[in-house]
Amino acid sequence: MKTKPRPVLSLRSIMMPGELINFPPRDPVDDTWNVIVETPQGSRNKFDYDPVRGLFKLKKILPLGSVFPFDFGFLPSTLADDGDPLDVLVLMDEPAFTGCLVPVRLVGVVEGEQIVEGAKRRNDRLIGVAAASHAYQEIGSLKEVQDALVTEIEHFFVSYHELEGKPFKPLARRGPKHAERLVKEGMEQFFQKLQSAAMEKAG
């Protein structure tokens, strides 16, 4: 008697496109934020999440000697002014990996201004601390991070965007309350986008 072959499950059948974009932004149990890592600390490769394909893709390779200072990812179910989820730089002891979910405490924001196609645009960078971190567990606000380290982080973003031909200028450093305010605004923009899409679909 012939046995029927087992069905083969493709990744697409398991993960719907854009699933990570719609992932809950906050963990209600321990009250941390869910950050999805795109580019690990120490990497020259810049990875981006592609919500259409539901996977991560290589966006660019940084020049020799230039690497990401910490894990860099996004906060799902949020929307920034550039149309993408809010970016988060995560302070932690060791690099994670692309696609890893890292529970994070937001400790502040590096406010920045960017020139895109000749026009000024805000491009603030959220700074968080991995909840499981040992080295940064005492950090509750960006002002408690060594000034030299924050300056290096700012310099990284300046040089990174300079390579793109989109000059970046740090404006100010803000604390956790301002960070959460930006996240709340990002969540509202995301919800409004979902509402608009649903109304368009309903016709």
* DSSP string for 92-131: -SS---TT-EEEEEEEEEEEEEEEETTEEEE--EEEEEET
**133 or 21: which leads in pLDDT:** 133
Lowest mean pLDDT among 11-25, 64-78, 87-101, 132-146: 11-25
Position 182 scores a pLDDT of 95
**Residue 141, domain member (yes or no):** yes
Position 111 scores a pLDDT of 94
What percent of the chain clears pLDDT 90, i.e. is strictly above it?
A: 66
**Residue 185, domain member (yes or no):** yes
* DSSP string for 34-93: EEEEEE-TT-SEEEEEETTTTEEEEEEEPPTT---SSEEEEETT---TTSSPEEEEEE-S
Average pLDDT for 72-98:
94
Q: Residue 201 pLDDT more than 70?
A: yes
**Residue 139, domain member (yes or no):** yes
Q: Which of 48, 55, 47, 49 is nearest to 10 (CA)?
A: 55
Q: Residue 76 pLDDT more than 60?
A: yes
Position 187 scores a pLDDT of 94
**98 or 11: which leads in pLDDT:** 98
| Secondary structure (H, E, C), 17-38 | CCCCCCCCCEECCCCEEEEEEE
| Interval 110-143: pLDDT, tens | 999 988 787 888 889 999 999 999 999 999 999 9
**Residue 160, domain member (yes or no):** yes
| Interval 141-183: pLDDT, tens | 999 999 999 999 999 999 998 888 888 999 999 999 999 999 9
Distance CA 148, CA 32 (A): 27
Position 197 scores a pLDDT of 76
Domain CATH for 68: 3.90.80.10
Position 18 scores a pLDDT of 61
Residue 12's pLDDT band (boundaries 50, 70, 90)?
Answer: very low
**Residue 172, domain member (yes or no):** yes
Structural tokens at position 35: 């950050």
**Residue 9, domain member (yes or no):** no
**Residue 187, domain member (yes or no):** yes
CA angle 134, 28, 88 (to 5 degrees): 55
Average pLDDT for 87-96:
97
pTM: 0.86
Position 100 scores a pLDDT of 96
**Residue 3, domain member (yes or no):** no
Q: Based on the structure, what is the number of domains in the chain? A: 1
Average pLDDT for 173-196:
93
Position 81 scores a pLDDT of 83
Domain extent at residue 114: 24-202
